[in-house]
Amino acid sequence: MDFSDYGKDRGRYQRDPGGRREKHSSDMPGARYLHPNLCFMKSREHPHASCRLCFVEIDGIDRPVTSCTERVREGLVVSTATAKTRRLQRTAFKLLMSAHHCRPQACPVRGGCQLIRIARHLKVGLNSQPLERLERPIDEEIDLGLFSYYPFRCVLCGRCIHVCRQRTGHNLLTFAGRGLDTVVALFGGGDVAAAPCPQCGACATVCPTGALVPKWEHGKAASAGPSLQAS
């Protein structure tokens, strides 16, 4: 592949004559660094940039923008680690952590959790300080039939919902609730036994924080951690 390499702290993006949106060099062959992100998936035609972690500065644009919503074009110069982008990324990360119960020493997905990886990259702690921790009136574990769902690990990235619809052609998973009560749930709150789940495990595989654990391999899934590949 042909890459444009703008040097240290500069974006490295695939040249694409079609102008498609491309994303972090960490998702590309030959990548040499991580660009923070939690919600990006290459197969999403319209990225919603919900995690707010992928801010970059682009020459000619007077404010930082989310890289997943920008289209590649000839001569694009991207700065990925400026003072402005780092400040926005760290603030977004702290907001996520304010609603996330993170216990690194006891975390079953410690080896593959994207939150730990991003915290190291941004040089921040796995806590919400100086922001207050938010208490959410939801259960620690929710039964989704074939899966155990852990809302306090979930960052509401929507990866599981997208890949499930893509693989099965059905809306088996969705977001339910509003605000701090938002969780992943079965579409329409339907009967868990009647859900036409093919047990492919794709939803759990793409989860960046191990919030979905298949019951048919509960021990294995809880200890192995999520895949870092964004499909």
Helices vs. strands in the chain: H and E counts, helices first:
5, 10
Beta bridge partners of 65: 56
The secondary structure element, H or E, covering residue 183 is strand 183-186
| Closest to 165 in 3D by CA, of 43, 37, 40 | 43
105 and 211 housed in the same domain: yes
61 and 44 housed in the same domain: yes
pLDDT at 33: 55
121 and 175 housed in the same domain: yes
74 and 141 housed in the same domain: no
- 100 in Cβ contact with 86 (< 8 Å): no
Q: At residue 225, does pLDDT exceed 80?
A: no
Domain boundary among 32, 67, 97: 97
CA pair distance 49, 113, nearest whole angstrom? 19
Q: At residue 13, does pLDDT exceed 50?
A: no
Listing from the earlier edge strand, what are the strands of the sheet with 147-149?
142-143, 147-149, 212-214
Q: Tokens in use for 87?
A: 């400040």
pLDDT in tens, 89-143: 999 999 888 888 777 776 667 566 888 889 989 999 888 788 788 777 788 888 8
In the predicted model, what is the mean pLDDT of the chain? 76
87 and 168 housed in the same domain: no
| Closest to 173 in 3D by CA, of 164, 208, 226 | 164
- Tell if the pTM clears 0.85, that is, is over it: no
Range of the domain at 138: 99-231
Residue 131: strand, helix, or coil: coil
Domain boundary among 97, 131, 154: 97
76 and 133 housed in the same domain: no
73 and 104 housed in the same domain: no
Number of domains present in the structure of the chain = 2
Residue 220: strand, helix, or coil: helix
Report residue 84's pLDDT band, with 50, 70 and 90 as the boundaries: very high
CATH number at residue 187: 3.30.70.20
Q: Tokens in use for 140?
A: 């620690």
42 and 136 housed in the same domain: no
| Closest to 209 in 3D by CA, of 155, 164, 161, 159 | 155
